[in-house]
Amino acid sequence: MDKASTIFLASSLIIIMLGMGLSLVFADFKRIIVYPKAIFVGLANQLILLPIIGFTIAIIFPMRPEIAIGIMILAACPGGPTSNLITHLAKGDTALSVTLTAISSFVTILTIPFIVNFSLKYFQEEGEMIRLDVVSTIIQIFAIIVIPITIGMFIRHYKTGFALKMAKPVRIASAIVLALVIIGIVIKERENIISYFQQAGWLALLLNVSTMAVGYFSSRIFKIKDKRAISISIESGIQNGTLAISIAVVLLGSSELAITPAIYSLIMFFTGGVAIYLGLRRNRLSADN
């Protein structure tokens, strides 16, 4: 993509992260003490099991190197505002979802460069080597994630009314931005998009569904039930697609590597819809009993 598109994508992600910060309060981080087991299981799923599952999928199934790397970029990313919204609609524990998203967003600043560099080294063919500078990447991700989130949190703290008023417009703007980014990638890669979708579509779906399933059943293993299990499941399986696309396009300068995250970003709304249906159904059955 050209420089203007790259700047637009980075700026858009900053706005989205600012919007996420508007939904956070400092008390969200205190839930580590209130729900230590749920937080631990949720973060273990996001930070450890998700990259392992992504790598397993990438080495088991035959695929182009750029698709495998796209899978790993997704697996390296935290949850995003979409996972919080889906959790809320599915009658999960929204506070737990927001807390997991916030903490994982901060932690993955350090883990993303190493996971992405590992995947680049493992899957790229000779002569096509791209590398992320670890220190530079950490600084850039810090700038587009931590600073906007922190500013948003301070606005929420000191201008609560304004923050609450802006929550819905920012969510709508985030959805529009993501749609525009996906359309731009599809246009840029229009000659290869059908073959990419044929190969990457079901792999992105597999990553999405398998990580949601692992999130849910790992919660049950640790006797975390009901709303919190739903939250952990969704947080484990719904990744920040916009961040994944930004890493591919802004940091790695490759629209090809953004194809899998773009396809994933479309698929997750369908699987998220299924999660919402199941969550509402569980809630209705619980109410009847």
Q: Which tens digit of pLDDT belongs to each residue from 38-83?
A: 889 999 999 999 999 999 999 999 888 889 999 999 999 988 777 8
Q: Which tens digit of pLDDT belongs to each residue from 111-158?
A: 888 999 899 888 887 545 667 777 887 888 888 778 888 888 888 888
Q: What domain range includes position 263?
A: 3-288
**H/E element holding 33?**
helix 31-34
Is pLDDT of 32 > 60?
Answer: yes
pLDDT at res. 128: 57
> How many domains does the chain fold into?
1
User: What CATH number does the domain containing 64 carry?
Assistant: 1.20.1530.20
88 neighbors 250 (Cβ within 8 angstroms): no
pTM, two decimal places: 0.82
- Please give the span between the terminal C-alpha atoms of the chain, in angstroms, as a whole number: 55
Q: Which of 165, 254, 263 is nearest to 205 (CA)?
A: 263
| Helix and strand totals (H; E) in the chain | 14, 0
112 neighbors 77 (Cβ within 8 angstroms): yes
Neighbour count for residue 147 (Cβ, 10 Å): 14
Long-range contacts of residues 209-214, Cβ cutoff 8 Å, at least 24 apart: 209/237, 209/271, 210/53, 210/57, 210/237, 211/45, 211/49, 211/50, 211/53, 211/236, 211/237, 212/236, 212/237, 212/238, 212/271, 212/275, 213/237, 214/45, 214/49, 214/53
Q: Which tens digit of pLDDT belongs to each residue from 206-217?
A: 999 999 999 999
As a whole number of angstroms, the distance between CA 185 and CA 244 comes to 13
SS3 content of the chain, % helix, strand, coil (to 5): 85, 0, 15
45 neighbors 70 (Cβ within 8 angstroms): no
Q: Which tens digit of pLDDT belongs to each residue from 224-277?
A: 877 888 889 999 988 888 888 888 888 888 878 888 888 888 888 888 888 888
Residue 223 — left, alpha, or beta (φ > 0 → left; ψ -120 to 50 → alpha)? left
3-state secondary structure of 91: coil
